[in-house]
Structure 1
Amino acid sequence: MAEAHQAVAFQFTVTPDGIDLQLCHEALRQIYLSGLHSWKKRFIRFKNGVMTGVYPGSPGGFMVVVVSYMSYNKYNQLDPSLGLIAKLEKFNRTITYFVRYMSTDSQRIVGGVLVGTGLWVTIIMVMRNVLKCLLSWHGWMHAPHGSVSWSIRLWMLLVKVFSGRKPMLYSFQNSLPRLPVPTIKDTCRRHLESVRPLMDDEKYERMEGLTKDFEKNLGPRLQWYLKLKSWWASNYVSDWWEEYIYLRGRGPIMVNSNYYAMDFLYVFPTSIQAARAGNAIHAIMLYRRKLDRAQIKPLMLQNTIPMCSAQCEHMFNSSRVPGVDTDTLQHMNDSKHIAVYHKGRFFKVWMFYDGRLLLPREIEQQMQRILDDQSEPLPGEEKLAALTAGERTPWAKARETYFARGKNKQSLDAIEKAAFCVTLDDTEQRYDADNPVKSLDSYAKSLLHGKCYDRWFDKTFNLIVFKNGTMGLNAEHSWADAPIIGHLWEHVLSLDPIKLGYTEEGHCCGEPHPNLPGPLKLSWDIPAECQEVIESSLTVARTLADDVDSHIFPFKDFGKGLIKKCRTSPDAFIQIALQLAQYRDKGKFCLTYEASMTRLFREGRTETVRSCTMETCAFVRAMIRDETVREERLRLLKVAAEKHQNMYRMAMTGEGIDRHLFCLYVVSKYLGEDSPFLKEVLSEPWRLSTSQTPMQQVELFDLVRHPEFVSSGGGFGPVADDGYGVSYIIVGENLINFHISSKHSSPETDSHRFGGNIRQAMLDILDLFQLDKKTK
């Protein structure tokens, strides 16, 4: 064990001649290399902080500005210091003391460098503020697809000019605009518009009255406080969203909040569990290294418009820590180990040796040692992680009572302060072509909740590697949204089978390390009282998990390639199909949530697109009525699609309504004001919650030559007890994967039935365009 090796590194014995000191040179060497690694990382972080702080400036730009300034003044025989030294002498005696020992030329050079530095800083601030003004304009989003006006081209050229060269991950943070606060009038108007198709005349008139009263009386007062916050804070939504939507929730985060990401659908690189874990863990650690060094390219829309990267900061070395009233996010600057769970035991595995990151074959060696370990779990250890799956308050009290000191605290710290967690699952999950429905449904449920005690749900993410080599992720939601973890996952999947590869036998490439210290099995002393709390949490979690009805199906009939031929947005096409499927499934419309990002703004997270619009409902009713002619249906579809795209643009550009209403509600609670309007608005259930999983790094996968390398995407649990959760990923030109969830306990829902309705709705909408006849 690693600790055993360190224990014998330093020994001494007392003899009649004095103290006989014995040092282990190998241990000292490891200490030296570890310290060297830490100092290198600190230096890189310091350097990156400086580079990001002066961006779009650079050290090279500094030299150019200062040398050019000095050369210009020398050529024109001017004083480059502009009398700066003489002016400073009047205000500071210390400067006067140093100036006495400087020649006139030296004073001019020093003063010239100071003035040149001021000029350089001024140029940086001008470029940064000009870029912020440019990025505050979003007219480019409203340009017709496929045509770009000269004004937009000029704008994009200016953005590129003021964006500087070779940006790092966090280079644009200071140049991103702040999220604007919509007006009360606009938000109230759009809210009424969004609920109109869901209410009869009587209910709508009542809501209209509440809305107008709020808009005239309480709303402006709450808006004033919100405006004040928007001027003071980087983002007026994100901190409250994180705290009140995620961290203050006292219910289980398993299923209700955490989400999952799947492996390749058709590719199985190896059936050796330890080998798959070795490559995946190494790929994740390589991503962390790039993240630490800010070497990951910032995500840019159309390769020009930067998006906020703030959510990446807590991806590694972080954990959600339970509290009685509210949870907190704990983040470590660095962590050199991971935590691994296998058959009820927890292990601490060091990721560095000889001052370097372990290679894939060496990580496989460590994973195999854990798999071969036949030791039994300590009392209470096997189901310990059920505490993270149940209610938050019992977990917080148990943590304070039983895990605040001694070996329990040390072992808990090893998990919470790990880079991330790994589960070597003892079940087999995989897409089975002979039984696709059952195999994918089982796979999804395993990633979403597992056995309710074999994932540490508080960790930012858990890598789950199954017995047959299939893998996936389970991610905690409070610290970031799905696209952030999706970016990491794309990196891992692209490295694993293609670049890292496997031997013919299925092992990781390379050789095992002959002297690598083994994993450390964590030690626990869990009393019977704590075991009762664990069992209680497990009961709650199992009830929740058993109620989840998951259905995953690859829609292979057509993909975005054919949808684009219809000159329709793929996302709008799918969202309208979901509305048609929902109406056929339940015979009524419902409030629909589609997640949109606001990362065009600093520290932006998400906004809601209310997909159930008057225009979409009109189209759905036309599809239900047999007497409506095809041309009329097609016209209504295009109107609905245009409306949806416009709402999506508004959400992305800070003109959505739901985050604004949420923040107004928070302010009302702080002021002790009771608003019937806000109370009713925020209690409306989202019976259809949807989200698209975007492919952000399409260049990593050549789906034309290798169509088998397609990701299955990911999914989440249902938001409402009587509703559906739908996630979908558009893969390549010919495939769309749907992930559907609901609850068995609801008589109104059935995930498999809804999946069938989605498929039929997609086919029916495509049939309106009669592409087969046009082709002929």
Structure 2
Amino acid sequence: MAEAHQAVGFQFTVTPDGIDLHLSREVLRHIYLCGVTSWKKRAIRFKNGVLMGVYPASPSSWLILVIAIMSTMYTRVDPSMGMINKIKDTLPVSDYLTVQTQTVLSAILFATGLWLALILLLRYTLKALLSYHGWIFECHGAKSFSTKIWLNLVRIFSGRRPLLYSFQASLPRLPVPSVDDTISRYLESVRPLLDDEQYKQMESVANDFKKDPAPKLQKYLKLKSWWATNYVSDWWEEYIYLRGRGPIMVNSNFYVMDLMYVTPTHRQAARVGNVVHAMLQYRRKLERGEHAPLRALGVVPMCSFQYERMFNTTRIPGIETDFLQHLRDRKHLVVYHRGRFYKVWLYYGGRHLWPAELELQFQRILNDPSPPQPGELKLAALTAGNRVPWARARLKYFSEGVNRASLEAIETAAFFLTLDDEAHGYDPDKLKSLDLYAKSLLHGKCYDRWFDKSFSLIAYKNGKMGVNVEHAWADSPIVGHMWEYVLATDCFQLGYTEEGHCKGDVTQGLAPPTKLQWEIPVACQELIEGSYQLAKEIADDVDFHGYVFEEFGKGLIKKCRTSPDAFIQLALQLAHFRDKGEFCLTYESSMTRMFRDGRTETVRSCTSESTVFVRAMENPTQKREERLALFQNAAEKHQHMYRLAMTGGGIDRHLFCLYIVSKLLGIDSPFLKQVLSEPWRLSTSQTPQQQINMVDLHKHPKYVGLGGGFGPVADDGYGVSYIIVGEDLITFHISSKFSSPETDSYRFGQNIRQAMLDIRALFDQKDGKKKQKEEKKEEEERKSV
């Protein structure tokens, strides 16, 4: 054990002459190095905390201002208009505080006060500038003169070299939409889904709500928006995620995949060694706030608060509600392999373990032939089942002794790692390779991922990787940011030897991983088995299909002067109509991170314009030009709705918060009940890519990610995640349930493919690669002439 290995460095013997103390120089050296590292961390955090606290100014600007004020004293000019003298009069006179010292100190205090006032002025000016969102409603590539001026002003007031959290104090608050606007947009969104009689009834219920109790609920919500940094996010986290009592596996957690074409090494332990080391580098920069903040157009900052709980975070089960436990400076991770749990230290002598050292530790685990302890094999199934049984089992069986110590090791770990004994990944020659890969990441065997950790890293025996993510603490773009950094660092900075091992040397005498000990009684084992059976039933019901669309991509869609997202969303509407013969309420996730503590908003992609377009596509008498005009109209409508959602004009988060207020006040609202109970039979999301631009895809086109996905939201619906990779590739992740006779993920994937091709045909465009070849051929012919 690592603890025993360290303990032998400190020994003492009691003798008649006293205590004979023996200290190990090696242990003392490690203590010294750990202390130095700890103080370095504190110093860097303090420095970066100061830099973020005074941003967009800098400490050097304070010194410049002090020197400027002091220099005016010699020219007998008083820029303070008498304030320096007033400050001077309040200071006591003594032998240590002479008149000259008083004057200097008064000037410094005035300069400091002026500096702080200027910082506040800069922040509020920047906040006022960032509250303007007219730029987002302009046509892409056609910025108005006023927008160009606005962008330059934002650049000027944004300062230089911002840290990750530098803009937090300058971000505007998410505005509360008016009740009239929300209800009007809601009725517009459901109009294509209801017949005339149903719509009149809904309109009547909505108008009754508008009269009473909406005004009362809105007042409370506005009061919260003035008090809280964001009127949605805390309630969204609590009521949508943490208060859910059902299984989070499949129903809440999502996954992220590895690189599509490239596997840097097929040695499992080596790949994990590099990836874990890259994650530790990312975490170090994250804890110091040294990552560059994400900015739209390279100028408009996005909120960074979700990054804070990426590491060292666990969802702790409760009887009525769960809570997120976030810690700092965790120095270990927990590894699961073939039913055994191991604690692996990530530091040695005050530094991170090198990739080769991590490879050694993971290989030791892979080589360990010991069997699991009774009840240990499926222990993690508790995190995959219902929350209340898990919370009760945790209190009863894991609150003392070795079980408590081992569970604490898992819950306080930096993250969770599974060394999987299966091989997965995308193989274009195997039809269901992507399907099996996705299901493995989404639920695995239901007992080999710790679904409560902020994320579980999964390493397959063929060198492929993936991540399963708990959803309460953050959304997919946050994890995607980390994953892009890790994959780029793994492939382009750390690298491997010719034999596929991690580079570098290994420190001799590195203590092996510690195997966690368990004493799980039979009654607890029965609870574990019950959770496992429930989780297995959920997992077996997931019908997944991954589809790589290679016919064309973003490059060709942009030549059609259409938003790629709008193009795909309309293709999904067309595919769904062909699949089920009807339209449904459609959820598309949009971010609200241009506001402080912003997370997501819903874009209701099924609109009157989209349904008219879809019906025209299914009408054989409709001309191509008419279909194209209807498509462009529907695409413009979708883009407008997406922009509204991004700028605080969405309706679903507003309605959700009004519902929470009504419940807290004990007010019954038939309108809100009906709105919140409507099923999302088509739930969609786009996975972002190239958030940090560490890889040039033009130079390295094979280093593209597969994106990620999630489980079906409705029992009779589809979940669709897609990632637009480079210029010529789109990957779809489609989920549904086998138990529903109405759905079939493979069938829906084929319908998506055909819908994409049919919409492209409206523009009479050829495949992007073929077109490039033809253009090149024409160019060569012109040169020869």
TM-score, normalised with respect to structure 2: 0.96
**Are residue 245 (structure 1) and residue 240 (structure 2) matched?**
yes
**Are residue 409 (structure 1) and residue 386 (structure 2) matched?**
no
For residue 398 of structure 1, the aligned residue among 393, 403, 410 is: 393
- Specify the alignment match of 2:252 in structure 1: 257
- Specify the alignment match of 2:315 in structure 1: 320
Q: Deviations over 1:207-258 (max 9, x none)?
A: 0000000011110110000000000000000000000000000000000000
Q: Deviations over 1:626-646 (max 9, x none)?
A: 000001000000000000000
- Give the letter aligned to residue 579 of structure 2: D
**Are residue 71 (structure 1) and residue 66 (structure 2) matched?**
no
For residue 483 of structure 2, the aligned residue among 489, 499, 504 is: 489
- Give the letter aligned to residue 518 of structure 2: W
Q: Percent identity?
A: 64
Q: Is the 8 A contact 1:688 1:724 kept in 2?
A: yes
- Specify the alignment match of 2:51 in structure 1: 51
**Are residue 766 (structure 1) and residue 760 (structure 2) matched?**
yes
Q: 2: CA distance between counterparts of 1:7 and 1:561?
A: 62
- Give the letter aligned to residue 180 of structure 1: P
Q: 1: CA distance between counterparts of 2:86 and 2:628?
A: 78
- Specify the alignment match of 1:369 in structure 2: 364
Q: Is the 8 A contact 1:80 1:108 kept in 2?
A: no
Q: Deviations over 1:527-555 (max 9, x none)?
A: 11111110010011000000001111110
**Are residue 703 (structure 1) and residue 697 (structure 2) matched?**
yes
Alpha-carbon distance, 1:77 to partner = 4.8
**Are residue 662 (structure 1) and residue 661 (structure 2) matched?**
no
SS of 2:689's equivalent in the other structure is coil
Closer, same or farther: CA 707–87 of 1 in aligned 2, 3 Å:
closer
Q: CA RMSD in A?
A: 1.5
**Are residue 608 (structure 1) and residue 637 (structure 2) matched?**
no
SS of 1:362's equivalent in the other structure is helix
- Specify the alignment match of 1:577 in structure 2: 571
Closer, same or farther: CA 726–101 of 1 in aligned 2, 3 Å:
same
Q: Which moved more, 1:375-384 or 1:124-133?
A: 375-384
Q: Is the 8 A contact 1:282 1:358 kept in 2?
A: yes
Q: 1: CA distance between counterparts of 2:79 and 2:668?
A: 67
**Are residue 297 (structure 1) and residue 284 (structure 2) matched?**
no
- Give the letter aligned to residue 403 of structure 1: F
Q: 2: CA distance between counterparts of 1:772 and 1:730?
A: 19
Alpha-carbon distance, 1:706 to partner = 2.0
For residue 650 of structure 1, the aligned residue among 636, 644, 663 is: 644
Alpha-carbon distance, 1:517 to partner = 1.1
- Give the letter aligned to residue 622 of structure 2: T
Q: Is the 8 A contact 1:176 1:600 kept in 2?
A: yes
Q: Deviations over 1:598-649 (max 9, x none)?
A: 0000000000000000000000000011000001000000000000000000
Structure 1 segment 102-141 matched on structure 2, within 5 A = 102-141=97-136
- Specify the alignment match of 2:161 in structure 1: 166
Q: Deviations over 1:683-737 (max 9, x none)?
A: 0000000000011436222222221111110000000000000000000000000
- Give the letter aligned to residue 633 of structure 1: R
Alpha-carbon distance, 1:74 to partner = 2.2
Closer, same or farther: CA 153–34 of 1 in aligned 2, 3 Å:
same
SS of 1:288's equivalent in the other structure is helix
- Specify the alignment match of 2:379 in structure 1: 384
Q: Which moved more, 1:332-341 or 1:719-728?
A: 332-341
Q: Is the 8 A contact 1:387 1:537 kept in 2?
A: yes
- Specify the alignment match of 1:694 in structure 2: 688
Alpha-carbon distance, 1:397 to partner = 0.4
**Are residue 356 (structure 1) and residue 379 (structure 2) matched?**
no
Alpha-carbon distance, 1:771 to partner = 1.8
Q: 2: CA distance between counterparts of 1:744 and 1:347?
A: 36
Q: 1: CA distance between counterparts of 2:145 and 2:179?
A: 35
Q: Which moved more, 1:482-491 or 1:99-108?
A: 99-108
- Specify the alignment match of 1:231 in structure 2: 226
Q: 2: CA distance between counterparts of 1:44 and 1:378?
A: 43
Alpha-carbon distance, 1:265 to partner = 1.1
- Give the letter aligned to residue 27 of structure 2: A
Q: 2: CA distance between counterparts of 1:579 and 1:644?
A: 12
For residue 537 of structure 1, the aligned residue among 531, 534, 550 is: 531
Alpha-carbon distance, 1:80 to partner = 6.5
Alpha-carbon distance, 1:84 to partner = 4.7
Structure 2's unaligned 5+ residue stretches are 775-785
Closer, same or farther: CA 142–83 of 1 in aligned 2, 3 Å:
closer
Alpha-carbon distance, 1:586 to partner = 0.2
**Are residue 474 (structure 1) and residue 481 (structure 2) matched?**
no
- Give the letter aligned to residue 47 of structure 1: K
- Give the letter aligned to residue 462 of structure 1: S
- Specify the alignment match of 1:522 in structure 2: 516
- Specify the alignment match of 1:40 in structure 2: 40
Q: 2: CA distance between counterparts of 1:502 and 1:523?
A: 34
Q: Deviations over 1:282-321 (max 9, x none)?
A: 0111000110111100000001000000000000111100
- Specify the alignment match of 1:457 in structure 2: 451
Structure 1 segment 279-290 matched on structure 2, within 5 A = 279-290=274-285
Q: Is the 8 A contact 2:481 2:692 kept in 1?
A: no
- Specify the alignment match of 1:507 in structure 2: 501
Q: 1: CA distance between counterparts of 2:566 and 2:82?
A: 61
Q: 1: CA distance between counterparts of 2:576 and 2:416?
A: 38
Alpha-carbon distance, 1:20 to partner = 1.6
Alpha-carbon distance, 1:148 to partner = 1.3
Q: 2: CA distance between counterparts of 1:149 and 1:305?
A: 17
Q: Is the 8 A contact 1:85 1:107 kept in 2?
A: no
Q: 1: CA distance between counterparts of 2:491 and 2:117?
A: 49
Alpha-carbon distance, 1:144 to partner = 1.3
Q: Is the 8 A contact 1:73 1:80 kept in 2?
A: no
Alpha-carbon distance, 1:87 to partner = 5.1
Q: 1: CA distance between counterparts of 2:130 and 2:279?
A: 32
Structure 1 segment 256-275 matched on structure 2, within 5 A = 256-275=251-270
- Specify the alignment match of 2:630 in structure 1: 636
Q: 2: CA distance between counterparts of 1:82 and 1:409?
A: 66
Q: Is the 8 A contact 2:72 2:79 kept in 1?
A: no
Alpha-carbon distance, 1:413 to partner = 1.0
